[in-house]
Each structure stands twice: as structure tokens, then as C-alpha cells.
Amino acid sequence: MTAADMPSPGAVRVRARGWGWRHAGRRAFAARHLDLDVRPGERVLLLGASGAGKSTVLHGLAGLLGSHDEGEQEGELLLDGAHPAAARGRAGLVLQDPETQVVLARVGDEVAFAAENLAVPRDEIWQRVGRALDDVGLDLPLDHPTTALSGGQKQRLALASVLAMEPGLLLLDEPTANLDPDGVLEVRDAVVRVLERTGATLVVVEHRVAVWADVVDRVIVLDAGGGVLADGPPGTVLVQEDTRARLAAAGVWVPGRQPAVGGTMPGGPGSSGPDASGAAGEVLLSAQGLGVARTRRGPVAVQDLALQVRAGEALGITGPNGAGKSTVALTLGGLLRPRAGTLTASPGLAGEAGGDPFRWRSAQLVQRIGSVFQEPEHQFLTASVADELAFGPRQAGVADPARIGAVAERLRLTHLLQANPFTLSGGEKRRLSVATMLATAPRVLVLDEPTFGQDAGTWAELVTLLRELVADGVAVLSVTHDADYIAALGGSTLHISGGAGRLVSR
């Protein structure tokens, strides 16, 4: 018997009638025409294409959309018959990025924070803190610093701090999108444990359906044009072929369905790859006894790396959160000074710039190695997509409008050339951050978690593009947790853990 059959007394009933929300300053409604009834204790997976308004619905349920200066509401959205903003503490929301949710310095205080805000008496607060930490399986001292936690632990802490409100409705906004595979399971299992004890209603938004398909008893798909596209048990919605096709077309990760990828598997049969282009695996970068560190005096992240980066090959860099993968990528990208050993660029890559990538000037670097950061916004420098694409070539003194046009075309940015980069959707931002790096035609491309939080559509586009680049003789290095991505690009894998790297060749 599931919790839905026997609702717990505290579980919240959700009701929406023609509900919609338009953010102030935006012309289009973020969500619209929503009619919905969720029974107390029901567990709902909310799906939809990017821009279908999933997050907006969650924010609405959490009572975060309210005042008139924030936007315009139509219809009604009710928790147990009350406006969400008036039902403070009834709904608890966990957001996607574990880093941006931590408020306080110590684990115990962090969990107590929400209970304090609801004016819970002091003795009861600490009982709730203990119970919430137990529920999510965080066995840590209350004065443990919140900065010294892994991504999965931080998300479980965020969950615990929401649980301290004893919410009847648990809202999760892509809670595992930024986590490594272990972290994903950690958080998913904690949620299941919590629901079993509390019987709360659950609404979870996530691109990767497989993670939650066995946990939920209902799947609701939002239509990008407003309203509901499909609604039913996962065994029906996720199995019916026409819904599956529509979900896939909307960019949702449907279990058992790999997004269609173009290009050819690098190095695979029928690949025209590096052999045809004549640059058969020319070594571009080679590392010897390389030790990497984030700061000049800080701790060493990874030691004694030896590897060669070859033209026309992909290299995946994997390992748990916090193992030092990004530090390795930044060092290989010529951005961080090697702590020990050497990183040498071959004459074919370096040209007149010398063999040490760290010593290259910015304008030299941008023509040789392109680094795509995890957070696209960190790299946006101008006010329009067109300027953004023209920027790198201008810095390098090799402005070539034809190439810029071709890159924009290839990454489907042509219709966005006048848009401000910061206003793009997540998938568009990712495409632009890759495009800006391709504009100067570097022979080495380093990407940090390029598929984090991307829907299946953007994922397939990105993989297709990178396959084509590899076939053109570009070396593509990617820090990633994404096994499908690595499989699609081929090449070797550098697995990093415990301060050491292990190269696995194909």
C-alpha cells in the first residue's frame, strides 16, 4: 500500500485552476492554463520541455511568487485551499544548485534555520534538527562546517533543512542535476526514506526521468504552450509510444531511449576521422609528472599525471565530486600554473608562442586552446550574442566574419544574434559558450561538465557537434560524470580519485 492510498494527516492537497504566472518585465507567461489536482501523499514527477514553466510551478507552490511587483498571476493555485504564500512552512523547496542554498556556517544551525523562521520553540527545534538529519542519513556533528561537505551531502543537508519545517508538500527542483552518480542515488534514497516516514506529498522536477520513475506514482507533463500534455501513472505515460515520442521531442530524458545523435563515433567503423585528414593523432599537449593545484600555495589536487592529448581524439576526465577534475582541466587548458612536472605544447600547436601554455598571452591562448567553463555566464563579456561570437577573433586579431557566421549557423544561434547572452535559456547559453570558443578555431577544446542539467535535445546537439569536431582533428577534453556522453565520443578516459589519475584506453 503506497502513501497515496493512505494519506498521512499532514500531507498537502494541491489544486490549480487555470493558473498562470508572468514574471514582471516579461511579455510571455512562464506557465499558463494549468488545471491540476494532486491528492495528499501523492508522488508526482513533473516533466516538460525547457521553458514549459516547471520551475515556475514549483516556485508558485512554494509561495515564492506573490507580490504584484514580482509579476502577474491568473487563475488560482491552492495548498489545502489556502494561497501558498499564506501557508508558510507547508511546502518545502529544494533547489538545483547545492552551492547556492547554504545559509549558515554549521550543519546544525543550517537545519535549525527554517524551524526558527516558523517560530518553533527552541527545545522542539533541536528535536526536529536531529530527526531531519537522521531522515536524510547525514551522520555528522551539529557543529560540522557546511563548507566541508560533498555535493550529495549538501543536497541532503538542503533536504534536511527543509524537513525541519515538517512540510506536507516536498518540492524538488532538479535536485540531482549537478551531482555525480553516487550523489544522485544518495539524494534519491534520502527522499524515499523521508516520504516513507512522513507521507508528505511530493512534486519533483527532473530531466533524467529514470532516477525517479520507480519512486513516483504519477507523471505530469507540462506543455510548452501552457496546460498539461500528459498525466498518468509512470507505467502508462512513460510507456505509451506516442507520449514517449512527444516527451523525447520535448527534450525529456525518457528511460530506455537514447537521444538521436548525428556524426560518427570517433575512431569507429566508417569514421573518416583523423586518418583521412592526415593528422593521424599528432600529439598536441603532453603532461609529464604533472601536479595540479587551484592556488599557488594551497593543497595539491592531483599528482603525477602523465598523458598525451592528441589531435582528433576525445578524452573524458571522470571521478567523484571534489576529486580535482576541474583543476586538471584548467591546468591542461593553460589557465593554471602546474604545481609540479611539465605541460608542454607541441610545436604544431604552440607555433610562435612557446611550449608552455601557462605563459601564453590571452590572445595566443584563445587561438590554441578553448576552455568552456561549467558556468557559461562566467565567460560572457558583451551585451549581444553577435558581439560575443566576434569577441575572441577580434582579441586574436583574426576577425573572420564568414567563420563567425558558420559557427552561429552550426550551433543554431543565428536567430539570437541580437539577444543579450544573459537572457538566453540554459541550453542556449551552453551552445553559445561552446560557440564563442569555436570562433577562434582552437585545436584543443576543454569542456567542464558540458552536459550538466541539459535536456536531451541540447545533449544530442552538443554530442553531434563535438563528434564532428573530433572528426575534423580537434582534441576534445571533457570533465564529465555522463557515461552516455563518454560512450558517444569514444576515446580514452582519465579517472581521477584520491589525488591520482588512472588512464583507461579504449
Interface contacts to another protein, rule CB under 8 A: 59, 62, 64, 88-89, 92-93, 95, 97, 100-106, 108-109, 112-122, 125-126, 129, 145, 147-148, 158, 161-162, 165, 295, 298, 330, 333, 335-336, 361-363, 365-366, 369-371, 373, 377-379, 381, 391-392, 395-396, 422, 436-437, 440
In the complex with another protein, the residue whose CB is nearer, 92 or 234, is 92
Kindly state the smallest distance separating residue 95's Cβ from another protein, in Å. Answer: 6
How near is the Cβ of 206 to another protein at its closest, in Å? 18
Q: Which amino acid is it at 100? A: T
Nearer to another protein, 190 or 372 (CB): 372
Beta carbon nearer to another protein, 335 or 500:
335
CA-based torsion, 74, 79, 83, 89: positive or negative:
negative
Dihedral (CA of 219, 463, 225, 54) sign: positive
* Distance between CA atoms of residues 286 and 65, nearest Å: 52
Contact 73, 65 (CB under 8 A): yes
Toward another protein, which CB reaches closer, 77 or 252? Answer: 77
Cα torsion through 172, 177, 179, 184, rounded to 10: 60
Q: CA separation (Å) from 79 to 83, 84, 195?
A: 6, 6, 18
Beta bridge partners of 317: 479, 494
Nearer Cβ to another protein (113/492): 113
Query: What's CA 298's distance to the chain center, in Å?
Result: 28
396/407 with CB nearer another protein:
396
Rounded to an integer, what distance in angstroms lies between the CA atom of residue 494 and that of residue 502?
6
- Least separation in angstroms between CB 502 and another protein: 26
Angle at 488 between CA 483 and CA 492, to 5 degrees: 75
User: By three-state DSSP, how is residue 117 classified?
Assistant: helix
Q: Is 11:2 a contact under the CB 8 Å cutoff?
A: no
Give least dist CB 3 to another protein, A. 23
| Rounded least distance, CB 369 to another protein, Å | 8
Write down the least CB distance from residue 328 to another protein, Å: 14
**Toward another protein, which CB reaches closer, 34 or 120?**
120
Least separation in angstroms between CB 271 and another protein: 29
Q: How far is the CB of 487 from another protein (least distance, A)?
A: 27
CA-closest candidate to residue 196, choices 135, 134, 133: 135
Smallest distance, another protein to C-beta of residue 148, A: 8
C-beta of 19 vs 373, nearer to another protein: 373
Nearest to another protein of 257, 337 (CB atom): 337
List alpha helices for 26-70, DSSP H: 54-61
Min dist CB 234 to another protein, Å, is 27
**How are beta strands 340-345 and 475-479 bridged, if at all?**
unpaired
Q: Which is nearer to another protein, 89 or 319 (CB)?
A: 89
Lookup: cell for 188: 534519491
First to last CA, the chain: 47
Grid cell at residue 310: 592528441
CB contact set of 213 (below 8 Å; sequence gap of 6+): 45, 219, 234, 238, 255
Q: Which class for 482: exposed (0-12), middle (13-18), buried (19 or more C-beta within 10 A)?
A: buried
Q: What is the dihedral of CA 337, 341, 347, 351, to 10 degrees?
A: 10
Sequence-ordered list of residues with C-beta below 8 angstroms from that of 451, at least 6 positions apart, any chain: 459, 462, 480, 482, 485
Considering beta carbons, is residue 95 or 460 the nearer one to another protein?
A: 95
User: Rounded to the nearest whole angstrom, what is the least distance from the CB of residue 360 to another protein in the complex?
Assistant: 9
